[in-house]
Amino acid sequence: MDKIGIYAVPFVISAIVLAGAVKRIDIFESFKEGAKEGISSLISVAPSLIGLVIGVNMLSASGFFELTADALSPFCHAVGIPPEVLPLGLIRPVSGSGATAILSSILENNGPDSLIGKTASVMAGSTETTFYAIAVYYGAAGIKKTRHTVPAALTADFCGIITACAVTRMIG
């Protein structure tokens, strides 16, 4: 299963570059344009990422994650979530930069290729900043009441957390 990643990345990149060649677009100019957007989005998240990495680093140094993991481990084991990755699941719907900061701390403390590190990576890759999306999209369209959007979207996020843990445990 691990090998798929090794083949997928070069395949995706060469397929896309070839598609660009077939369509006769200016490939390198497009790459530069996209890379520039990557730089500007990194710059735009930098201030919040700096603040949240400081906050998460403080929590991590204070022993907060160990204390909460101990306290929550009966619940986590009951639903099949490693307690170490729970903070990521909690912050993911609220803040993208917060999730980046917490994922980075989990990977650093447990190792990126450990089961916990892989579970956290899969979780981060399969969920989104739900509240941000609801606020931005509904706000722009002038929708004020949300009906059952929040319960539906949060249930979907919760399913994402559970599937990330289960899939990684079974075939990771």
Partner 1 sequence: MLLSYIWVLMIVGSVICSFITGRSAILAAAITEGADKSISLLFSMAGVMCLWTGIMKIADKSGISAGIAGILSPVLSKLMPDYAKDSSALKAVSANITANMLGLGNAATPLGIKAMKEMQKHNRLGDKPNNSMIMFVVINTASVQIIPASTAALRKAAGSTDPYSILPLVWISSALALLAGIIVTAALNRNGGVQNG
Considering only residues 24 to 43 of the shown chain, the ones binding partner 1 according to CB under 8 A are 25, 27, 30-35, 37-42
**Under a CB-based contact definition with an 8 Å cutoff, are residues 121 and 75 in contact?**
no
Minimum CB distance to partner 1, residue 69 (Å): 12
Got the DSSP string for 49-100? HHHHHHHHHHHHHHTHHHHHHHHHHHHHHHHT--GGGHHHHHHTTT-HHHHH
User: Token match 């390198």: residue?
Assistant: 28
Applying the rule CB under 8 A, the residues between 59 and 98 that interact with partner 1 are: 59-64, 66-67, 91, 93-95, 98
How many CA within 13 A on the CB side of residue 31? 8
Q: Is residue 12 near partner 1 by the rule CB under 8 A?
A: yes
Please report whether residue 138 would count as binding partner 1 according to CB under 8 A: yes
SS3 148: coil
Nearer Cβ to partner 1 (73/131): 131
Q: By C-alpha distance, which of 134, 51, 159, 168 is closest to 100?
A: 51
Shortest distance, position 96 Cβ to partner 1, whole Å: 9
Query: 94 to 123, contacts with partner 1 by CB under 8 A?
Result: 94-95, 98, 100-101, 103-104, 107-108, 111-113, 117-118, 121-123
Q: 32 or 77, CB closer to partner 1?
A: 32
Q: Are residues 110 and 117 in contact, defined by beta-carbon separation less than 8 angstroms?
A: yes
Number of residues that bind partner 1 (CB under 8 A): 105
Write down the least CB distance from residue 74 to partner 1, Å.
20
Q: How far is the CB of 80 from partner 1 (least distance, A)?
A: 13
